[in-house]
Amino acid sequence: MEWYTVGLGLLGLLMIFIVIGLPIPFALAAASLPFLWNIQGFSTSVVSSELKLWGVWIDYILLAVPLFVFLGELIGKSQIGPNLYQFLHQGVRIRGSAAYGSIGASAGFGAVCGSSMVGALTIGGVALPEMLRLGYGKRLSSGVLAAGGTLSVLIPPSLILLFYGIVADQSIGDLFIAGVIPGLILVSSFVVIVLIWGILKPRDIPNQEEAQKMPMLMILSTVGPVVLIGLVITVAIYAGIATPTEAAAVAALLTVVLAFGVGGLTWQGFVASIFATMRTMGYLGLLLSAGVLFGFVLTYYRVPQQFTELFLSYDLSAYTVLAIVLVFYVILGMFLEPVSMTFITLPTIYPLMDAAGFDLIWFGVVYTITMEIAVLTPPVGLNLYVIQAISREQVTIGDVIMGCLPFIGAMILLIVILILAPQTALWLPEQMR
């Protein structure tokens, strides 16, 4: 069977199964099975599928995923995340402090949790009602929180960078450290956007905000855990003390202690965190397992290699190839969420980017920023619906979309900066080596 027949067949079956409403993990597996049967026969392929699925669930590197998810859920169910927003809002007595506090809290939460949706839920659940009560514009309030949730995707630890490293076989530590400087640039860009927004639309930001000063003890119990958890993850990975999986395990255990000790976590909240992690990992585990089957079929028929050779035969410049790939992901992001896109498309795309001469660590950062844009673009922009849902119908989905546009512009500008100056992402990993 020719590689292009397999590639088009897989894509066609996948689209059919998704359109008829089959969940993406099952759609991936169902699209892969006919070609797997062609390779091995029915009985053998059933056994090999079971082995591949089991291999995913016991993979040592992938153990970091549920640990980081659990860590984020613990912070979300305790008072650590909400108090972080209150501290940054009440501790910064300037016009627009609630908006700046939302950005800072989202960045701080991103430093200990790698999930965009959990970040948007945790910070947005506290900040959005408060900002609306204070008189902030609906578009500014919803836009800054939906976009702020994406900071969890870029600032390490990041689940998307983790998945990228697994699929593209790149160093997780290098990918995490490569996201630090671009993440700080993006945070700064968001602050500038709020500042300009206040100048252009002064009615969207109140002149005075009613906020009580936080007691020093509450400040310490808020900032201390976030700093400590972030340091444990950062130092353990980048100093070579522990692998990402080991760092995630230690950080998760530390978070349990801190969430109960100073975060006000209840037993019901702890149980809810476990169940939320199980629900998330039930989906991600199936997606990872189905992605392995999908990737095996692609690799067996050499679809990525043949696709790369075909693409390069057109003699396009490297930056033309990059532009095509980025536009492809922006369009695809309107219909699929980032994790699914990673396992469906990345096995074919990353060899192409490698052959085009791009550093795969650098491309991992660019890819992750593109995934940030994906969670803010309708009709399947997860963060849009999260923020709209927690507003309790005070904000329309149109308000959230319009509010996100300036922040999407900042992400596009960051991609341009990374293209013009690749060392923005590569300098820090090189220094760490």
388-422 residue pLDDT tens: 887 777 888 888 889 889 999 999 999 999 999 99
Q: Are 290 and 28 in contact (CB under 8 A)?
A: yes
pLDDT of residue 394: 81
Against a cut of 0.75, is the pTM above it? yes
Q: What DSSP character marks residue 392?
A: T
Cis-peptide, bond into residue 379, ω within 30° of zero: yes
The pLDDT-based confidence of 298 (bands split at 50, 70, 90) is: confident
Nearest by Cα to 67 from 286, 229, 179, 293: 229
pLDDT of residue 209: 60
pLDDT: is 3 or 213 the higher one? 3
**Is the pLDDT score of 385 beyond 70?**
yes
Cis-peptide, bond into residue 157, ω within 30° of zero: yes
Q: Are 228 and 258 in contact (CB under 8 A)?
A: yes
Least confident of 26-35, 142-151, 381-390, 415-424: 381-390
Nearest by Cα to 354 from 387, 391, 325, 390: 325
Amino acid (1-letter code) at residue 91: G
Count Cβ atoms below 10 Å from residue 43 Cβ, excluding itself. 9
The two structure tokens encoding residue 412: 């596009």
pLDDT of residue 89: 66
pLDDT: is 56 or 75 the higher one? 75
Q: Which residue ranges make up each domain of the chain?
A: 3-432
pLDDT: is 215 or 313 the higher one? 313
pLDDT digits (tens, 9 = 90+) for 223-277: 778 888 888 887 887 777 888 888 889 988 998 998 898 888 889 989 998 998 8
The pLDDT-based confidence of 181 (bands split at 50, 70, 90) is: very high
**Is the pLDDT score of 171 beyond 70?**
yes
pLDDT: is 369 or 150 the higher one? 369
Nearest by Cα to 80 from 114, 63, 105, 55: 105
* Percent of the chain residues past pLDDT 90, beyond the cut: 16
Average pLDDT of the chain, as a whole number: 83
pLDDT: is 242 or 185 the higher one? 185
